[in-house]
Structure 1
Amino acid sequence: MEPQETLAMVQGQAEIWQHMFSFVDSMALKCAVELRIADIIYSHSGPITLSQIASGIDSSSPDIPYLARIMRSLVRKNIFTEHHHPVEGGGETLYGLTQMSKWLLHEAELSLVPMVIMQNHPLLLAPWHCLGQIIKEGGTAFNKAHGYEVWDFALKNPDFNNIFNDAMACTAKIMMRVIVAGYKDGFGSMGSLVDVGGGTGGMIAEIVKAHPHIKGINFDLPHVVATAPLHEGVSHVGGDMFDVIPNADAIFMKWVLHDWSDEHCIKILKNCRKAIQQKSGKVIIVDIVVEKDSNDLFDEIRMAFDLLMMVHTTGGKERTELEWKKLLEEAGFTRYKIIKIPTIPSIIEAYLE
């Protein structure tokens, strides 16, 4: 074997090892969130020692050597910083926050903690072990792992339902900032807006807050809106988007259609058409648009989301522009416009005329 070929084989082997153990990164991340390491460092207003981190952990006897090894891994991934602080008789290592670990603060207004908790929960990891099975047999991975589809499972398990709702609410907050900035005057001309699949109403509440002239309606399944807090200018309505959607000037849907098959999406979009009260109305879809040769910050995440939909939903997927165009046309929307924003999804405006 030529030296160049040998080197390529070794590189290939190393990369397979890396992929094989990529779950270690997410488990270490979950550990950091569970132990509230970012919060402990943040509470000291600056870098702190390992023993200071240990003293902030909710335990009477934390294992310091284990903690040191977790911190070494998290520092290597740039989740925390590490630098040596010389003191008399030696020195000590101080650990600090990075731009990444600031997203792991439990009480921060913008935080990814609930999403880290949900995506790494054993209940949501189990279906990933069924990927090969669904390729061989069809069906849905979540159902094969748990005996229910994800929405039915949430209905029967209040604790899981709360974890799911918290994760959706945290992403709604993050997306809202980007959407309001990137969409500019998109909400300006409407008097009423329904957020279909709006969860506990965080998204529509932020839209109404930024545009007080809008009458906001948060629409989701009854067991979801049952846990929703009161939001000024927003009414909660329980129902099923496959049956009927409340009337409004415009419809808003964030990360809803990617959960469903084309047939289901067409049914939802047709119900949106029926719900729009004026011909100048529109549907505002916040969802991923897959681009084959794109190379921006969120590309890898978009591809991961496509497999996530395959594992956790019934026929859900991420779509290319061509696939979106086909869906919208079949549902009776004659025009659309894609607005790119600096986050995972894009904004797709669909018009009746």
Structure 2
Amino acid sequence: MASHAQNLAALWEMAIGHATSFGIKAAVFLRIPDILSDSLEKSMSLEEIAARLQGTNIQLAPLRRLLDYLVVKKVLLKIQSLEVPGEFKYGSTELCEMLTESKFARLLMLQDEVVTSGWHHIHEFILHGGEVPFQRAQGMFIWEYMEKNPEFLGLFSQGMVAISNVTMDSVLQTYHGFDEIRGVLVDAGGGFGADIGRVMEKYPHIAGVNYELPHVAHAAPAIPVILVLQNCYKALPHGGKLIIVDIDMDPAERGPFESLKFAFDLVLLALTKGGKERTSVQFIELLTQAQFSNIKTIGDVNCLCSIVEAHKLET
């Protein structure tokens, strides 16, 4: 049982959790992860980091406070300087490397003020129903907002690519179900085609097709999931396989991503109409209704998502 002090600390963490999100955002906008990554020693003094910033009046004291917070959150290391006693350098970590522009910095899309606007209205949606949280905040569904705001559409698309890249890194390292594919692999709703491209790069024997229709994405909230799965079943040849990469809300699937799964479910609640994460049992029920068989879940792919395989048996 947690002590009173531990509960109090947890309460404060919940109340001021945005400090981490916006602290990271500031560091990425300042390009601190890239600055440290580009240095030969992967570590620099406060003054050396400041010299690399693009500004007209760099403030050292606020910069130090930001860097020290990132040390506490284990994004950076604080290393005793060998040259000057009492002085410290800030060093990169694996987590810091993940935040470089070439990797996952675009995950910051999740902190955009438009994306987060719906969170302020979740309680109203729970109490009164009607307009979903994002709709209450912006006066329209998120898909409509994208159509009217190309800049936000670009930001959102980049963020989705970043999320996909994080997932595909783990999938391609741990999942071996692509080995047995002979012929064509279709990525339904594949966006810009980055995922299918990476699969083809690792498995050159696969002929990949990226299937993306913007008007379908716009109408997606109104299309029942079972209908999508039934259409996938019809499109598959006999002996074909459907591969779903998605979050599994099964309570038995414990691990470092457990709380994040519930957080992403709330993201869908705040942003979409009817969007939600599902358990493996719910996936199996839906796939069975769509006539798939030989269904199995592959839970440990070392990332936020799990994999569900479903087959259209030979006749």
TM-score by length of 2: 0.91
Q: Deviations over 1:98-119 (max 9, x none)?
A: 1110101113xxx22011x201
1:194–1:217 CA contact under 8 A, matched in 2: yes
Judged with a 3 Å threshold, the aligned counterparts in structure 2 of structure 1 residues 214 and 86 are, in CA distance, closer, same or farther, namely closer
Q: 1:318 to 1:84 in 2, by over 3 A?
A: same
The structural deviation recorded for 1:168 is 1.9
- Identify the residue that residue 274 of structure 1 maps to in structure 2: 234
Q: Tell me which of 306, 311, 321 is aligned to 2:265.
A: 306
How many Å separate the matches in 2 of 1:351 and 1:188? 13
Partner Cα separation in structure 1 for residue 240 and residue 252 of structure 2: 33
TM-fit CA distance, 1:221: 3.0
Query: Measured at CA, do residues 331 and 84 of structure 1 come closer, stay the same or move farther in structure 2, by a change above 3 Å?
Result: same
Alignment of 1:160-175 (within 5 A): 160-175=152-167
One of 79, 91, 94 as aligned partner of 1:83: 79
Question: Structure 1 residues 190 and 87 mapped into 2: Cα distance closer, same or farther (>3 Å)?
Answer: closer
Q: Is the contact made by 1:285 and 1:347 (CA closer than 8 Å) also made in structure 2?
A: yes
Q: Which amino acid aligns with 2:216?
A: D
**2:93 corresponds to which residue?**
98
TM-score by length of 1: 0.81
Larger mean CA deviation between 207-216 and 55-64 belongs to 207-216
Shift of the 25–205 alpha-carbon distance from structure 1 to 2, 3 Å rule, reads: same
3-state SS of the aligned residue for 1:319? Answer: coil
Separation in 2, partners of 1:150, 1:78? 34
Please provide the CA RMSD for this pair. 2.3
Partners of 2:171 and 2:5 lie apart in 1 by 45
How do 1:1-353 residues align onto structure 2 when only pairs under 5 Å count? Answer: 8-46=3-41, 47-85=43-81, 87=83, 90-107=85-102, 111-115=103-107, 117-138=108-129, 139-222=131-214, 240=216, 264-276=224-236, 278-340=237-299, 341-353=301-313
Judge conservation of contact 2:178–2:203 (CA < 8 Å) in 1: no
Per-residue CA distance 1:224-256 (angstroms, 9 max, x = gap):
xxxxxxxxxxxxxxx62799xxxxxxxxxxxxx
User: 1:49 Cα shift?
Assistant: 0.8
Q: Is the contact made by 1:289 and 1:320 (CA closer than 8 Å) also made in structure 2?
A: yes
Q: Which of structures 1 and 2 has the larger relative contact order (alpha carbons within 8 angstroms, sep 6+)? A: 2
* Structure-2 change in CA distance of 1:86 and 1:180 (3 Å): closer
Structure 2 residue ranges without an equivalent (≥5): none
Compute the displacement of 1:44 (Å): 1.7
The gaps in structure 1 that reach 5 residues or longer are 223-238, 244-258
Q: CA deviation at 1:308?
A: 1.2
